[in-house]
């Protein structure tokens, strides 16, 4: 499956879910299937454009706003955009949906907390449980699950390829 540059509207695919749910893995698997595609990864943006922000509610809202604005600029420049960001607050994702409009596609990368903790690719859950990190989404800071995402992919039961196939099928049917 590959979307050709045939005049179809570019999409902003917003992957949201807990740390360790598979957002970045799915984003990297999707990228080769979308022409002119750019990934906005929350972890990478935290080291750059969002390095001045912490993890307060206000700062998390600002992180989401900045990612949405960058995504809009990239869409306007004729790119497909994949956002891989926890983005724990529903209101933030809803504001980005309003900003972007029809090209916005929310994908809930759903995975039970226990499985995310077992995966713990960055060792963050271990640090949280040891008291080294506070305000961690899903543990001592809330994650508000999407109410009406366009797609839900359950990464504890689906392979990366199956997740990508479901997302691409939606993209192709709604391009």
Chain centre to alpha carbon of residue 139: 19
| Nearest-angstrom CA–CA distance, 166 and 95 | 25
CATH number for the segment(s) 12-174? 3.40.50.300
Binding region for ATP: 17-24
Rg, Å, the chain Cα set: 16
Candidates 30, 126, 124; CA nearest to 84 is 30
In angstroms, how far is the first alpha carbon of the chain from the final one? 13
pTM for the whole thing? 0.92
Q: What is the pLDDT of residue 8?
A: 57
Q: What are the residue numbers of the active site?
A: 87
| Nearest-angstrom CA–CA distance, 124 and 166 | 29
pLDDT digit of tens for each residue in the chain (175 aa)?
445 444 457 999 999 999 999 999 999 999 999 999 999 998 888 889 888 988 888 888 898 999 999 999 999 999 999 999 999 999 999 999 999 999 999 999 999 999 999 998 889 999 999 999 888 999 989 999 999 999 999 999 999 999 999 999 999 998 7
Candidates 72, 151, 55; CA nearest to 110 is 151
Q: What is the pLDDT of residue 22?
A: 97
Binding region: 17-24
The beta strand positions in the chain, using DSSP E, are 12-16, 37-41, 80-84, 104-110, 151-154
Candidates 99, 91, 49; CA nearest to 72 is 99
Token representation of residue 152:
């839900």
| Nearest-angstrom CA–CA distance, 149 and 87 | 13
| Nearest-angstrom CA–CA distance, 101 and 98 | 5
Give bridge partners of residue 13 from the DSSP assignment. 82, 105
Question: Dihedral of the CA atoms 135, 54, 87, 120 (nearest 10)?
Answer: -60
């Amino acid at each position: 499956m590959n979307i050709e540059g045939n005049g179809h509207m570019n999409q902003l695919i917003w992957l949201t879910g807990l740390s360790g749910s598979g957002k970045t893995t799915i984003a990297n698997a999707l990228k080769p299937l979308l022409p002119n595609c750019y990934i906005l990864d929350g972890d990478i943006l935290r080291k750059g454009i969002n390095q001045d922000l912490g993890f307060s509610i206000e700062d998390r809202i600002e992180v989401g706003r900045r990612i949405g604005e960058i995504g809009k600029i990239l869409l306007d420049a004729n790119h497909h955009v994949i956002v891989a960001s926890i983005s724990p607050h529903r209101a933030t994702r809803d504001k980005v949906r309003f900003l972007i409009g029809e090209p916005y596609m929310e994908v809930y990368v759903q995975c039970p907390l226990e499985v995310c903790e077992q995966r713990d690719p960055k060792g963050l859950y271990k640090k949280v449980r040891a008291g080294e990190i506070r305000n961690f989404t899903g543990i001592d800071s809330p994650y508000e699950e999407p109410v009406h995402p366009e797609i839900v992919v359950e990464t504890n039961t689906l392979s990366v390829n199956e997740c990508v196939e479901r997302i691409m099928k939606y993209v192709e049917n709604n391009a």
